[in-house]
Structure 1
Amino acid sequence: MQAVSVGQSLWIYNLIFTFLQLLGRLSASTSSPPLTSPTLDIYSRSKGSVVLVCRAPDGQRGVKFMLYRNKKEVDSQVLESGAEEVHFTVKENNTAQLFCCIYKEQGRFSAFSPYLHLEKTRDTPSPVLSVSPSTGQVKRGDTLSFSCSVPVPPQSQSRSNLGNRPMTFLLLRAAKQPGATSVILQPQASLVSNHDPQPGVFTVGPVTGGEEGEYTCLYQVNLRSGLVNSTVSNMVLISITDALPVPTLVLEQQTAVWHLLCTGSAAYPGAAFSLYVADNEILVDTHEVTLIHHQVTFPVPVQETPVAFYQCQYNVLLAGKWSNSPRSLPLAVTRGIPPPSSTDFSAVDWPLVLGSFSVVVLFLCSVILVVVVARRKIKAAAEEKKRREEAHFWTQVHAKDHVVDLTLRRTSITQEWASEDSPTETASRSPLWTSLSTFTTPTHPYH
């Protein structure tokens, strides 16, 4: 009886074990496939540190990225909205190091990336960035020329650091988004006879308005350990000066006190105004105005020279960035001599003068046009009236043109002649009178 119970127990255990195996296989076959492994590369190098970038495959966004050195986690980043890549900064050691990374998406972890072999590289000198024009201020239509050069090390270090390897120069401009950069690539520079690398030259332009910002450069060199980036160069600031109208600077008297009046564009109120010594970077004074004003007054500075020239400038916040206007024309201020009136030639508001002159000319042209049109209409009306009067006159003349009956009676005349002549003569003359006669003088026959 005990043997039967033991056999039944073994049969039940086998059945349960088989069911669990089938369930495990079924769950394994229906589970989602693992995520594709990311890639780990060197993003940039600086003195004593390296920036690594861990990139997820195309179309994948990880919410958590983890960096491992050998088999130990050394850093991680959690991103609520997810990202395609993250940057990790690690320090260089004298020994070689192995790094890899993974990422997590929707509760699943990816496979580990291939190991990145990182070893300390020899120091590469930082490049020097310069620009023409050197002030970094340009107008629309101008062209910028950048030069990224590598400082020449001592002859003893030239071969040990860079050797005769070609370089690739990169010009970087900080984008509007924080942390983002745009890259302008310069092909590999050739080497001159003394084995010094030629500078990387970049031409940007013609300037259209979107070239403002901060520029830096770096170079890449292919060493034995792979492609190595140098540290970034100095920063060069580029600004466009004709984005804002030029201000005006004049002398103005207020309550027997002279001031310098700087007027900016009425389209940009609330600007920050600055007063400079002409052709110099010496800042004399600054003022900020309210959001409804576009001009400011500066007190006349104390002068050490008989004549001093001043310029003003205003700054406006446009699209989250400060834009500088060009400087005004230099204004001469004489010490100890009454300054010229603010109604000087330089203070004439030429747009207002031209506008007023245009209005006067337009008004005069309108008056002349009205007079000419009225005169023509009056002349046409007079001619029409004359034609109507002439037509009326000739109509009356033609209405009176008819035949008048001028037949005269001969009764008295015949009686007169009858008393003087005989009856026979009267009878012989009577046939000569007809009813068609129009004259009273009788007609005598010729014998």
Structure 2
Amino acid sequence: MLIVCIDSCLSLWMYTLLCSALQHWNRVLSSTITPRVLPAPELKQTTRTRDRVVLICQAPEGHLGTNFTLFRDQKPVASVVNQHGTETAQYTVTVGGGGLYCCLYQNNHGVYSGFSQYLTLNTQQHMLPAPTLSLQEDAGGVRRLACTGSAAFPGSVFSLYQVPYQVDGGGPLLLLPTDPTATQRIPVTRHHAVFPLPVQEGPSATWYRCQYTVLLGQDWSFSEHSQPLAVSTPRGPTPPSTTGVDWPLVLGSISAVVMFCCALALVGVIAYRKVQAVAKEKKKREEAQFWTKVRAKDHVVDYTLRPVSLDCQDWADTSTVPRTPLWNALSTFATQISL
């Protein structure tokens, strides 16, 4: 009985140890062995111009691809390689010819994903009129981007794009935008959208475009892209330069001083003439008062004394008798009166 018990206990112990080892190796193999097929990516059309369309092949979240391949009618037409791995790849396709497009990706272990769903390009012949993109800034300093489309297509879906560019010897070379920075579907009563200005990094300007799409029947119709708009990061007030002479400021100061002197001289001339006029008026009043007093003191009395020894005939005609004043202004009471 003792031997049977020992054998049973030993067998049970070995069975438990073997099961634990198998479970451990199963976990190790599950964590190290890669799957045979990765999840399929998504292929989408993000933007288009009159003759080109931008396609994006995007891997599922958590998966990176080192090689993305685009297929047209089951034939590879373009490939994007990134040794460090990325989630998306961009393709620019020429419009025309139709066809079905799909894509797949490959990771750094050489494992391929499944094919994405097939995509048919939008091949509308005529683009809708291009919108207008402008920068708006209110009194509080908040800046916005306003995209105004055609009034004939209200209720559109507006998209704002940050345009990538390359700098060469002739300036920035603008590329076709990819994913929209922001998207708005506006009510049917409006034909414009306002986007908050995205946060900009660095002092260089950022280029933007906008576009609107309209559902006409069963298909979405795209507009032309707006003209690119460069938006610079706002800066604070520039301190005055201490190395050079600000000639406009100097000339403006001189002009202000000259105008002030001219105004001061004009005021002085007007005041001088006013004082002269008051002095002349006062002098006239004083002279008038003086002559009035003089005339009041110099009063002349003229008396005429007739002769008393005239006969009747002479008395009757006295027109020939000369009249002699009794005294003149220079006579006194001591002067003898002659008859």
Q: Under a length normalisation based on structure 2, what TM-score does the superposition of the two structures give? A: 0.52
1:39–1:212 distance in 2 versus 1, CA, 3 Å: same
Partner of 1:124: 128
CA displacement, residues 272-318 of structure 1 (integer Å, 9 cap, x when unaligned): xxxxxxxxxxxxxxxxxxxxxxx3458x6xxxxxxxxx3xxxxxxxx
The equivalences for 1:182-201 within 5 A come to 183-191=181-189, 198-201=191-194
The 1:186–1:88 alpha-carbon spacing in structure 2 relative to 1, beyond 3 Å, is same
Name the counterpart of 2:276. none
Map 1:74-223 → 2, pairs under 5 A: 74-93=77-96, 95-105=97-107, 106-121=109-124, 122-133=126-137, 141-151=140-150, 166-173=155-162, 183-191=181-189, 198-202=191-195, 213-223=206-216
Q: Is the 8 A contact 1:67 1:101 kept in 2?
A: yes
- Secondary structure in structure 2 of the residue aligned to 1:332: helix
Query: Does structure 2 conserve the Cα–Cα contact (< 8 Å) formed by 1:174 and 1:181?
Result: no
In structure 1, the residue matched to 2:251 is 332
* Paired residues for 1:47-446 under 5 Å: 47-93=50-96, 95-105=97-107, 106-121=109-124, 122-133=126-137, 141-151=140-150, 166-173=155-162, 183-191=181-189, 198-202=191-195, 213-224=206-217, 226-239=219-232, 241-247=234-240, 262-263=241-242, 295-296=243-244, 310=248, 330-332=249-251
Q: Deviation per CA, 1:96-119, whole angstroms, max 9, x where unpaired?
A: 321111111121111211111124
Which residue identity does 1:147 align to in structure 2?
A
> Could you list the runs of 4 or more consecutive aligned residues of structure 1 that deviate by over 6 angstroms after TM superposition?
175-182, 209-212, 337-340
Query: 1:97, 1:119 within 8 Å by CA — same for their partners in 2?
Result: no
Distance 1:339 1:46 in 2: 57
Whole-Å separation in 2 of the counterparts to 1:31 and 1:235: 46
Amino acid at match of 1:189: P
Query: 5+ unaligned residues in a row in structure 1: which ranges?
Result: 1-29, 153-157, 159-163, 192-196, 248-261, 264-294, 301-309, 311-329, 341-447
Shift in Å, 1:146? 3.3
Q: Please state which structure has a larger fraction of its residues in strand.
A: 1
Residue 107 of structure 1 aligns to a residue whose secondary structure is coil
Count of equivalent residues:
214
Which residue of the partner structure matches residue 36 of structure 1?
Answer: 39
Aligned-residue RMSD, C-alpha: 4.1
Equivalent residues of 1:175, 1:181 under 8 A apart: no
Summarize the Cα distance change of 1:165–1:33 in structure 2 as closer, same or farther, 3 Å threshold.
farther
For the 8 Å contact 1:40–1:101, the answer to whether it is kept is yes
Structure 2: give runs of 5+ residues left out of the alignment.
1-32, 168-176, 258-339
Separation of aligned partners in 2, 1:171 and 1:31: 40
- Higher RCO structure, 1 or 2 (CA under 8 Å, sep 6+): 2
Distance (whole Å) between structure 1 residues aligned to residue 235 and residue 217 of structure 2: 49
| Identity over aligned pairs, percent | 27
Deviation at 1:331, TM superposition (A): 4.8
Q: Which amino acid aligns with 1:230?
A: S
Q: Which amino acid aligns with 2:135?
A: V
**SS of structure 2 residue aligned to 1:129:** strand
Equivalent residues of 1:64, 1:79 under 8 A apart: yes
